[in-house]
Amino acid sequence: MSTTQAINNRSKTAGLEQESSQATSTSSVYDTKQLNLWYGDNHALKNIDLDIKQNEVTAIIGPSGCGKSTYLKTLNRMVELVPNVKTSGQIMYRGRNIFDKDYSVEELRTRVGMVFQKPNPFPKSIYDNIAYGPRIHGIKNKKILDEIVEKSLRGAAIWDEVKDRLNENAYSISGGQQQRICIARALAIEPDVILMDEPTSALDPISTLKIEELVQELKKDYSIIIVTHNMQQAARISDKTAFFLNGEVIEYDNTDTIFSNPSDKRTEDYISGRFG
Amino acid sequence: MGQSVQEMIAQSKGKKSKKFVEKMIPVLLFLIATVSVLTTIGIMLTLIVETVTFFTRVSFIEFIFGTTWLPFSNLDAQFGILPLIVGTLKITLIAIVVAVPIGISAAIYLSEYATDNVRRVIKPVLEVLAGIPTIVYGFFALTFVTPLLQSIFPEIKIFNAISPGIVVGIMIIPMIASLSEDAMSSVPKSIRDGALAMGSTKFEVAMKITVPAAISGIIASVVLAISRAIGETMIVSLAAGSTPKFDGDFTGSIQTMTAYIVQVSKGDAGYGTTIYYSIYAVGFTLFVFTLVMNILANYVSKRFREEY
C-alpha cells in the first residue's frame, strides 16, 4: 500500500468514526451477551452481560481474582494468549461479534487500544514508540509521523516534558512518564476504545493524579474501560461502574448509584471495605 | 544427655582440626584456581617465544604481506601467510552464509512461534548437534556433502572450500540459534503484549520488537560463532585439502591456518627448523583473530544492550 493510500484510508476511517459518534451519541460500544470463559477447568467468567456506552468512562472494580482483568483482556482478545482458554457467548463490538471466525484480531486491536498495569514502552526512542503503531499500519511519511507523534504526546499530556528528548530511550524517563508514553502510543492510531488495566497501580500519587486527569480529558474523544483496585479512583473518574465478584457481575450502574446507593448487599460490603 | 546442646556446640567449636581445615580450604582452592591461570600464561609464553624465534628467520613484513606460502620447498621456502588467511576466510564466509540465516530463523521460530512442547524437543536436538565430534562432521563433509555437490556441479574437486564451509556452517548453527534464542526469550513478555495490543501480527512483533531488542545478543552469538568457524580444524583438515592459495576460487583444494598446523604437527618437521617455528607464528595469528572476535563480541553485547 502506498503512503498516500494508507493516509487516505486512515482519514476515511477517522471520518467514519466521527460520523458514527455524532449519530449515536448514547449507543453502545461493547455489548457483552452471556460471556463465559474458562482457564482450563477454572470457570473464570460466568454469564457476563454488560452494555458499555460510548464516550464514557466505565470502571470495573472487584477483589483480586474476581475476573475483572480477564474480562478486560477478553475485549481485545488478548486473553487468547493464555494457553487453554475457552470462551462461549458473544461480545458485540460496534455490532459485530469479536469471536466471529472472520474477525481478525489485528483489526480489532487496531480499533481498541490498551494500556497495561506496568508501563511497557518498547526499548526504542520515545519517538519510535509513538510512531510504532502508525508505521506498522502503513504510514511512512516522515512529516505525517512527526505530526502524529506531537499530537499523541500532547493528547497524553506529556509533550512539554519530552519534546526535547524524543530521541532518547523511553526507559530513560520516570515510571509515570513511561505510562503516559504508553497512553500516547495507544492514541497514535486514534483508536475507538481504550482499555486500561490498573494503569496507576505501579505509580506514585502525583503520577496517578495526572493519569486520572488525563482520563477525564480523553473521554471526550474515546470510550474508556478501566480496571482498578482503587475504589476512590473508580468513584472519581468513572461514569459507570461494574462490580465483579467470583467471575460474575454483581452490579452494574451509574457510578454515583453504586457508591451511594448500591442495590446488592455484596457491593455495599465491598465498597465500604468489609472485604477485598 | 548430661550436657546442654550449647555446651556440646562450644566443645566441638574448640576442636583444632576444624579451625585448620577452615583456614586451609581457601588456600587450597586458590592454588587450584591458579593452575588454570598459570597454564594459560604458560601457553601464551611458549607461543610468543617461538613466534619471536620464527621472526628472527623470516621477516615480519614478508610473513604478513607475502602472498606465497611454500614452506616445504628446499630451495626457495616462502612464508607469506595471506594464502592461509584467505583459505580460512573462504571457509568462514561460506559458514556464515549458511549458519546466520538458518540460525537466526531457528531462534525466531523457537522464541516467537514454537509451543513449549515443540521447544522441548527441538532445543535438545540442537544441543546434540552441537555435541557431535568435529571429526564426524569432517567425514560427513568428505564422504557425503562433497559427492553430493559434485553430482550437481561436476567442476568441484574432491578437496574444496565449499563442502567444509557448509559443514562448518552446520556445526555453528546450534550456537547461533541457541544464544540468539536466549537473547530473544529474555525480552519481557509485557513488551510483546504491548505490541500485540497495537494490532501487530506475530511476525511484526518478532521483526520490529523482539529482534531489535535482542540485537546485541544476536550479534554477539554470530561473532562468537565466526570465531569458532575460524578456529575449526578437523573438518577443514579432512575435507578442504592442503593447497595454500591466494585467489578467489572456492571449488578447488585450499588450506586454512588450522589445517596447516595439523599438517606440520603430524608430519616430521624436525625441532628447530623454520617450518617447526612457523606453526607457532600461524598459531599466534589464529589466536589474534579469535581474540579480536571475542573482544568484539564482548564489546557489541555491552555497547548495544537495550534497556528494558
Which of B191, B199, B201 is the closest to A122 by Cβ?
A: B191
pLDDT digits (tens, 9 = 90+) for A137-196: 999 999 999 999 999 999 999 999 999 999 999 999 999 999 999 999 999 999 999 999
Residue scoring higher pLDDT (B231 or A7): B231
Q: Sorting pLDDT into bands at 50, 70 and 90, what band is A270?
A: very high
- CB neighbours of B94 closer than 8 A, spacing ≥ 6? B161, B162, B165, B166, B168, B169, B250
Taking an 8 Å cut-off on Cβ atoms, the answer to whether B213 and A122 are in contact is yes
Contact residues, chain B, for A123 at CB < 8 Å: 187, 191, 212-213, 306-308
Q: Is the pLDDT of residue A212 over 80?
A: yes
Put simply, the answer to whether A110 touches B213 (Cβ < 8 Å) is no
More confident residue, B308 or B198: B198
- Across the interface, do A116 and B209 touch by the CB < 8 Å criterion? no
Task: Provide, as residue numbers in chain A, all residues whose Cβ is less than 8 Å from the Cβ of B306.
Answer: 123, 169
Q: Which residue of A has its CA nearest to B305?
A: A123
3-state helix, strand and coil shares in percent for chain A, rounded to the nearest 5: 45, 25, 30
Least confident of B33-42, B159-168, B269-278: B269-278
Residue B46: the pLDDT is 93
User: What's residue A44's pLDDT?
Assistant: 94
Confidence of residue B116 (pLDDT cuts 50, 70, 90): confident
Q: What residue ranges do the domains of chain B occupy? A: 1-34, 78-303
- Residue B117 sits at the chain A interface (C-beta within 8 Å): no
Q: Tell me the backbone φ, ψ of residue A29, rounded to 5 degrees.
A: -90, -50
Interchain pair A120, B204: CB under 8 A: no
What are A112-122's pLDDT values in tens digits? Answer: 999 999 999 99
pLDDT value at B37 more than 90: yes
What dihedral do alpha carbons A153, A157, A160, A162 form, nearest 10°?
-50
Cβ–Cβ < 8 Å for A247, A74: no
Residues on chain A touching B199 (C-beta within 8 angstroms): 105-110, 133, 136-137, 189
- The answer to whether the Cβ–Cβ distance between A78 and B190 falls below 8 Å is no
Task: Quote the minimal CA–CA distance from B172 to chain A in Å.
Answer: 29
Model pLDDT, residue B32: 94
Q: What is the DSSP letter of B307?
A: P
Tell me which residue in A114, A123, A132 faces B306 most closely, judged by beta carbons. A123
A88 CB neighbour count, 10 Å cutoff:
12
For residue B113, the chain A residues in CB contact (below 8 A) are none
Give the CATH architecture of domain B78-303. Orthogonal Bundle (1.10)
Instruction: Assess B200–A contact: CB distance below 8 Å, yes or no.
Output: yes
The closest CB to that of B193, out of A107, A116, A136, belongs to: A116
Grid cell for residue A217: 480529558
Q: What is the pLDDT of residue A245?
A: 94
Q: Which residues of B touch A171 (CB under 8 A)?
A: 307-308
Q: What residue in B sits closest to A186 (Cα-Cα)?
A: B198
Contact call for A189 and B208, based on CB within 8 A: no
Q: What percentage of chain A exceeds 90 in pLDDT? A: 81
Asked if residue A88 has pLDDT above 50, the reply is yes
Closest-CA residue of chain B to A74: B197
The secondary structure of A227-270, three-state, reads ECCCHHHHHHHCCEEEEEECCEEEEEEEHHHHHHCCCCHHHHHH
Radius of gyration of chain A (CA): 19
Per-residue pLDDT of A220-241, as tens digits, reads: 999 999 999 888 999 999 999 9
Could you tell me if B42 lies within 8 Å of chain A, comparing CB atoms?
A: no
CB B240 within 8 A of CB B259: yes
Beta strand residue intervals within A62-179, DSSP E: 85-93, 96-97, 112-115
Task: Indicate the residue of B188, B193, B198 with minimum beta-carbon distance to A132.
Answer: B198
Three-state DSSP string of A201-237: CCCCHHHHHHHHHHHHHHCCCCEEEEECCCHHHHHHH
pLDDT for position B1? 60
Contact residues, chain A, for B195 at CB < 8 Å: 122, 132
d(C-alpha A153, C-alpha A180), whole Å: 8
User: Per-residue b/e over A164-201, b at no fewer than 16 CB within 10 Å?
Assistant: eebeebbbebeebbbbbbbbbbbbbbbbbbbbbbbbbe
Element (H, E) at A7: helix A3-23
**pLDDT band per the 50, 70, 90 thresholds, residue A26:** low
Give the pLDDT confidence score for residue B307 in this predicted structure: 63
Instruction: State which amino acid sits at residue B170.
Output: I
pTM recorded for the entire structure: 0.81
Q: Report chain A's mean pLDDT, rounded to a whole number.
A: 89
The answer to whether the Cβ–Cβ distance between B200 and A185 falls below 8 Å is: no
State the Cα angle at A169 between A168 and A172, rounded to 5°: 95
Q: Where are the alpha helices (DSSP H) in chain B?
A: 5-13, 16-57, 60-65, 82-108, 116-131, 134-140, 146-152, 162-185, 189-196, 202-205, 211-213, 215-231, 234-239, 257-266, 274-303
CA distances from A167 to A127, A130, A153 (A): 6, 11, 14
A116 contacts in chain B (CB < 8 Å): 190, 193-194, 197
pLDDT in tens, B155-178: 999 999 999 999 999 999 999 999
Interface of A with B (CB under 8 A): 76, 78, 81, 105-110, 113-114, 116, 118, 120-124, 132-133, 136-137, 169, 171-172, 182, 185-186, 189
Q: From the CB of residue B283, how many other CB atoms can be counted at a distance below 10 Å?
A: 19
Grid cell in block for residue A103: 474477525
Give the closest-approach CA distance of B278 to chain A in angstroms.
50
| Optimal mutation site among A114, A128, A136, interface B, most CBs of chain B within 10 A | A136
Q: Minimal Cα distance from B215: which residue of A?
A: A123
Q: Determine whether the interchain pair A106/B190 forms a contact, defined as Cβ–Cβ distance below 8 Å.
A: no
**Angstroms from B205 CA to nearest CA on chain A:** 10
Q: Please check the confidence at residue A3 and state whether its pLDDT lies above 50.
A: no
From A110's Cα to the closest Cα of chain B, the distance in A is: 5
Contact A124 B308 (CB under 8 A): no
Percent of chain B with pLDDT over 90: 74
Q: In chain B, positions 279-308, which contact chain A (CB-CB < 8 Å)?
A: 306-308
Cα(A236)–Cα(A255) distance, rounded to whole angstroms? 9
Q: Place B89 in a pLDDT band, splitting at 50, 70 and 90.
A: very high
Amino acid A236: pLDDT: 93
pLDDT of B270 reads: 80
Smallest Cα distance from B232 to chain A, Å: 36
* Mean pLDDT value across residues A27-42: 94
